[in-house]
Amino acid sequence: MPRRTQSVFDFAAALAVALALVAALAGTSDSAAAQGAPAASLRQLTRDADAVVRARITAAVATIEAGGRVYPVVHAEVLATLKGSVAPGEIVFAKVGSGTATFVDGEEIVLFLQHLERVPELAATPLQARLRYVASPNAGEVIVLSDAVRPAITDAVRRYAALEAIQDPEARGDVLRKLSLDLMKSGEPLLITSVMRDLAPGGDAAALTLADLPAMVPLIESSRVPIGTRIALVAELERRGLIFGPARWVRLLRTSQGPDLLAVISAVGEHPSAGVNAYLIPLLDRSDLAIATAAATALGVPGNIEAVRPLTASLRRSDHPLGLAVLRSLARIGTQSARQALELVAARHPDAELRQRAETDAIILARRHGTTLAPTFGLTLSDAALATVPALPPIDAAAH
């Protein structure tokens, strides 16, 4: 299904942006990448397009015949040209390849067009005699223009298009950085998301410098900025070495409440530090079990010895999801002390499912360390259960 980018950008969408950036920093792919290529930013789309127009879809599903073959096409009405020389009025364009968008009749969109001969699937085909343009697929993403977002988005595209007329690379870079900062400060989530795509590894060259930091800090501090955007900014500025990340993560934890706090707790697991540990550990005792469970999950960082005792102590609470989160984190911590904690849980916890899970995890860690379970706990697994435990190579025994 295509993603339709509109003015409604709720908490879940904001958090998705942050998590996508974290995944990019960690070297993993997001849902857009799974379609063949990550979704591009407005800057990238504008730069790579031969024409950009504001258009209304008049026939989202249509075909055209050329050389005995039928091709899928879309009919639209051009309302304004933002780049290139497309005249207002009717336009027909092809859509091919993986990640192509699904259009909807009546929607007003920003349409990024490329000349047909630039698309390998269509180059040197009879279709070139019938059509001039093909729509950029952009991982299926569609930018829908509501009354609220139309002025800001079309202005941004025009400004990106004007960049190409600046010949001097240094001057062009200065204008690009100013434009990026302006869009970040606009408060429009779609534009902020686009700039974050530029800033992420593999994005465009809208690099931030120390000189830009004063403009970024108010965005991180403002409760009016979506928490996902604030999380992504801290992650990116930390990656670039422009801020001291641990202090910023702790400040986000201290100043967030409710769903925002849950989002920050979920993010800080990728950015561990002593300060983050010190803030998360007391959250294990929160009456809000969602907060406690999120904290337990975030503390599951390999080698996080300081978290082993408080995680184990939190198992006195009767909440089953919290218990499972604690066991997963102890297994991820993976030290000898974490294994011993799992053995203790397996031997004494009143919940049979948690005991079985802890026992399996303890055996896995024991095999990693090239050792055996503590005999005083008398732990045994059935032959069938043992058969499900994978044989794993030993890890560094110094990590206790």
Q: Alpha helix locations (H) across 205-319? A: 213-221, 227-239, 245-255, 258-268, 274-283, 289-298, 308-313
Percentage of the chain beyond pLDDT 70 is: 80
pLDDT at 392 over 80: no
Q: What is the pTM of this model?
A: 0.66
Q: Which residues contact 327 (CB under 8 A, 6 or more apart)?
A: 342, 345, 354, 357, 358, 361
At residue 243, φ and ψ (nearest 5 deg) are -135, 160
Which of these CATH numbers, 3.40.50.2300, 3.40.50.720, 2.10.109.10, 2.40.50.120, describes 3-8+35-152?
2.40.50.120
For the chain, the domains span: 3-8+35-152, 242-400
**Is-contact 187 32, C-beta < 8 A?**
no
Q: Could you give the C-alpha distances from 346 to 297, 312, 354, 357, in angstroms and in order?
A: 19, 12, 7, 8
Bridge partners of 56? 77, 108
| d(C-alpha 383, C-alpha 377), whole Å | 18
pLDDT at 34 over 90: no
pLDDT at 360 over 70: yes
pLDDT digits (tens, 9 = 90+) for 38-55: 788 999 999 999 999 999
The pLDDT, as a whole number, for residue 384 is 41
pLDDT digits (tens, 9 = 90+) for 66-89: 988 999 999 999 999 999 999 999
- Number of H helices and E strands in the chain, helices first, is 17, 7
Q: Which residues contact 348 (CB under 8 A, 6 or more apart)?
A: none
Q: What is the mean pLDDT of residues 206-220?
A: 75
Quick one: 275 exposed, middle or buried, by C-beta within 10 A (0-12, 13-18, 19+)? middle
With cut-offs at 50, 70 and 90, classify the pLDDT of residue 203. Answer: low
CATH architecture of structural domain 242-400: Alpha Horseshoe (1.25)
pLDDT digits (tens, 9 = 90+) for 265-290: 999 999 999 999 999 999 999 999 99
Tokens of 339: 């294994």
| d(C-alpha 133, C-alpha 92), whole Å | 8
Residue in the structure block whose two tokens are 């258009």:
55
Q: Kindly provide the residue ranges of all beta strands, DSSP E only, lying in the chain, ordered along the sequence.
A: 3-5, 51-66, 69-83, 89-94, 108-115, 133-135, 141-143
Q: Which helix (H) or strand (E) holds 132?
A: none
Count other C-beta atoms under 10 Å from residue 155's C-beta: 15
351 backbone φψ class: left, alpha, beta (φ>0; ψ -120 to 50): beta
**Is-contact 50 157, C-beta < 8 A?**
no
| d(C-alpha 150, C-alpha 46), whole Å | 16
pLDDT at 12 over 70: no
Of 16-30, 275-289, 309-323, the range with the lowest mean pLDDT is 16-30
Of 111-120, 301-310, 380-389, the range with the lowest mean pLDDT is 380-389
DSSP 3-state of 73: strand
Sign of CA dihedral 396, 398, 399, 400: positive
pLDDT digits (tens, 9 = 90+) for 182-199: 888 887 888 888 888 887
pLDDT at 352 over 90: yes
Of the candidates 397, 14, 380, the residue with the CA atom closest to the CA atom of residue 193: 14
Task: Determine the residue type at 12.
Answer: A
